[in-house]
Amino acid sequence: SFNILKRLGFDDQYINKICFYIKNHDNPINERLIIDDYEKTLNLYKIQQADALTHNPNKSENRKEYLKDVLEKLINSSKTKI
């Protein structure tokens, strides 16, 4: 994806950001990422949520539970920053 985005004329900073989301869209979100970069984690959560919606609802119960847990962690983390 890096090479394609580079060929299309995007700058390296943007490409690295997009490549992070591509690479991690199926990886679990951990608390370290939430603490280190809340905004990036929130975007990754939204991507994972959208990805889960594309799958068969009868086979995505574990994913729904995981996303619910991540959302709670994100909400709790945002409260501690206020």
Write out 17-57 in H/E/C secondary structure: HHHHHHHHCCCCCCHHHHHHCHHHHHHHHHHHHHHHHCCCH
State pLDDT tens for residues 9-63. Answer: 999 999 999 999 999 999 999 999 999 999 999 999 999 999 998 888 887 888 8
Q: What is the pTM of this model?
A: 0.84
